[in-house]
Chain A
Amino acid sequence: MTEIIVVTSGKGGVGKTTTSASVACGLARRGKRVAVIDFDIGLRNLDLIMGCERRVVYDFVNVIQGDCTLKQALIKDKRLETLFVLAASQTRDKDALSMEGVRKVFDELIADGFEYIICDSPAGIEKGAHLAMYYADRAIVVVNPEVSSVRDSDRILGLLSSKTQRAEKGEEKVKEHLLLTRYSPRRVATGEMMSVGDVKEILGLDVIGVIPESPDVLSASNAGTPVILNEQSDVSRAYEDAVGRLLGDTLPLRFLEEPKKGFLARMFGG
């Protein structure tokens, strides 16, 4: 059984690629065979976040156009045995991806025994985003607790329920999950930021994870090491929990409260 998961959001810069990379690593760390695919044609970035940018020889469009085999284009992760990356093409031709082409690549991955295909969607609601979600069984909707991100993700929910294969064929609908990123418990406590409960209520989705705001995300992307692999970080633990929930574990949400600080730290910042 192969499960196709799209990581989507509508708005850009909310953490889709960070999430795709960490979820893919988390699944692979549990021994699952995982392919993570960058759908952002023209703006390749997943390779950088995964730290394999210098090993990209062939990309997604090359495979579709028959310039190479899928095996040649899949980049094997150096840290995790069962994890493979398929880079986006840097071509400016947005029509380089086609519905049939994507289907062909998925069928080959399925035949090859991949258990999870993670589709890192581009921002927006154009063709790339549409193709990334079209064959999905599940969707992780990445949202910042901020008005434009919440509104855009509701638009994406509308597309998930109408513009996917499951919707068109009248099959069981795509399972949708909410993943909140850049969450600041301190600002939620002071009423400056919407809470998990607020966003959940507006969008009407189940919460698969809440990722705290943290400088570790930038450090991880600087280094090309998906943040889930930084085990010292709360962000890593929060992503681990999300992966657990994806696999059916029931886990309480963590990091919703500000860590207690000592008196001095509170007086002088830190």
Chain B
Amino acid sequence: MGLLAFFRRSQPTANVAKERLRIIVAQERTARGGPDYLPTLRRELMEVIRKYINVDPEAVQINLEKEDGHEVLEFSVALPEKGKA
């Protein structure tokens, strides 16, 4: 590393990459094993919710969890803070 590079050091962003990947990979793995209708279900639910509440797509989570013998479809919406909606 040269003297110049020392003063122009770039931001440590590896932890951001890791965190983003952890989330997206987990989400894509859930969708992978699950039924084909999940993406469509997610999109249609989003449309319905957004008729009533202005939520960010990131605030809506769909998870299909497999527990011994049965599956749970978990759906969570983080509502926006009051005054922002």
B14 touches A195 (CB 8 A): yes
Interface membership of A188, Cβ < 8 A: yes
Interface residues of A in 86-100 (CB under 8 A from B): none
Query: Which A residues touch B20, using CB under 8 A?
Result: 147
Interface membership of A171, Cβ < 8 A: no
Instruction: Name A198's closest neighbour in chain B (CB-CB).
Output: B18
Instruction: Provide the bound-state CA to CA distance between A192 and B18, in Å.
Output: 11
A193 touches B14 (CB 8 A): yes
A145 to chain B, nearest CB (A): 8
Instruction: Name A159's closest neighbour in chain B (CB-CB).
Output: B32
Interface membership of A44, Cβ < 8 A: no
Instruction: Provide the bound-state CA to CA distance between A203 and B28, in Å.
Output: 12
Instruction: Name A197's closest neighbour in chain B (CB-CB).
Output: B18
B24 touches A191 (CB 8 A): no
Interface membership of B10, Cβ < 8 A: yes
Interface membership of A263, Cβ < 8 A: no
Instruction: Provide the bound-state CA to CA distance between A186 and B11, in Å.
Output: 14
B14 touches A192 (CB 8 A): yes
B15 touches A150 (CB 8 A): no
Most chain-A CB neighbours within 10 Å: which of B1, B3, B20? B1
Instruction: Provide the bound-state CA to CA distance between A266 and B3, in Å.
Output: 8
B18 touches A154 (CB 8 A): no
Within 8 Å by CB of A269, from B2, B18, B22, B32, lies B2
Within 8 Å by CB of B21, from A151, A188, A191, A267, lies A151
B23 to chain A, nearest CB (A): 10
B21 to chain A, nearest CB (A): 5
Interface residues of B in 2-43 (CB under 8 A from A): 2-3, 5, 9-15, 17-18, 20-22, 24-25, 28-29, 32
Interface residues of B in 60-79 (CB under 8 A from A): none
B3 touches A268 (CB 8 A): yes
Instruction: Name A270's closest neighbour in chain B (CB-CB).
Output: B2
A147 touches B12 (CB 8 A): no
B21 touches A147 (CB 8 A): yes
Interface membership of A247, Cβ < 8 A: no
Interface membership of A202, Cβ < 8 A: yes
Instruction: Provide the bound-state CA to CA distance between A192 and B12, in Å.
Output: 4
Within 8 Å by CB of A154, from B5, B9, B17, B25, lies B25
A194 touches B22 (CB 8 A): no
Most chain-A CB neighbours within 10 Å: which of B10, B17, B28, B32? B17
A113 to chain B, nearest CB (A): 39
Given A191-B12, A191-B15, A154 and B28 contact (CB-CB distance below 8 Å): yes
B14 touches A158 (CB 8 A): no
Query: Which A residues touch B21, using CB under 8 A?
Result: 147, 150-151, 202
Within 8 Å by CB of B28, from A146, A155, A192, A198, lies A155
A-B contact sample (7 more), CB < 8 A, given A198-B17, A198-B18, A269-B2: A146-B17, A151-B24, A154-B25, A155-B28, A191-B12, A268-B2, A269-B3
Interface residues of B (CB under 8 A from A): 1-3, 5, 9-15, 17-18, 20-22, 24-25, 28-29, 32
